[in-house]
């Protein structure tokens, strides 16, 4: 980290995300644990990737690895860990995440550094961190009347959309 950049600088936040995504991919690639544990870890990867995507997407073109990962996450959220498609989809997601961390992500960081002042980067980083913190407590509008708040961001069908909606609401709120 550059001594002039606070820990909340957007590029620092996104670089930390890349390290965490890479670590989760490595853990999944090791193939250890029960199918249920692997599903839990895959859900954790999806949650981390959604949080990261919401922050980084404005600096990417829409047809890259994160767009591919989004489609795979949506398929994976409906796949049970015992289904044969689960490991195939998970492998595709891991490959898309790895490509993003190696290629797309660094390009986005360069674009942020080129197009934003240090002050703007610091403010954007704070906003991202605040949105992530608030998202965990925001109900999804479609679920608020039917599902207890504690269950609204749990993985499962619709998880990607619920997480994106919660992050979007906390940024615009």
pLDDT of residue 2: 46
pLDDT tens digits, one per residue of 104-132: 999 999 999 999 999 999 999 999 888 87
pLDDT tens digits, one per residue of 38-89: 998 998 899 889 889 888 888 887 778 888 898 999 899 889 999 999 999 9
Distances in Å between the alpha carbon of 88 and those of 38, 108, 123, 157, 162? 13, 28, 39, 18, 24
Segment among 54-63, 87-96, 156-165 with least mean pLDDT: 156-165
Q: At 27, list the tokens.
A: 């853990």
Give the separation between CA 44 and CA 66, rounded to whole angstroms. Answer: 16
Give the separation between CA 168 and CA 35, rounded to whole angstroms. Answer: 32
pLDDT of residue 53: 87
pLDDT of residue 77: 84
Per the model's pLDDT, the better-predicted residue between 110 and 162 turns out to be: 110
pLDDT of residue 137: 52
pTM: 0.76
The sign one gets for the Cα dihedral 28, 34, 39, 44 is negative
């Amino acid at each position: 980290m550059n001594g002039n950049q606070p820990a909340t600088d957007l590029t620092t936040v996104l670089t930390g995300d890349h390290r965490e995504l890479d670590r989760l991919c490595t853990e999944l690639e090791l193939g250890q644990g029960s199918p249920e544990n692997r599903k839990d870890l895959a859900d954790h990867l999806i949650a981390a990737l959604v949080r990261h995507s919401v922050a980084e997407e404005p600096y990417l073109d829409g047809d890259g690895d994160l767009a591919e990962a989004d489609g795979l996450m949506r398929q994976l959220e409906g796949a049970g860990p015992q289904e044969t498609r689960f490991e195939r989809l998970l492998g595709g997601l891991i490959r898309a995440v790895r490509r993003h961390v190696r290629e797309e992500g660094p390009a986005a960081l360069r674009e942020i550094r080129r197009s934003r002042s240090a002050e703007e980067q610091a403010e954007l980083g704070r906003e991202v961190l605040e949105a992530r913190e608030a998202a965990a407590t925001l109900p999804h509008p479609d679920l608020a009347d039917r599902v207890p708040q504690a269950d609204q961001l749990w993985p499962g069908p619709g998880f990607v959309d619920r997480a994106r909606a919660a992050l979007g609401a906390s940024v615009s709120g």
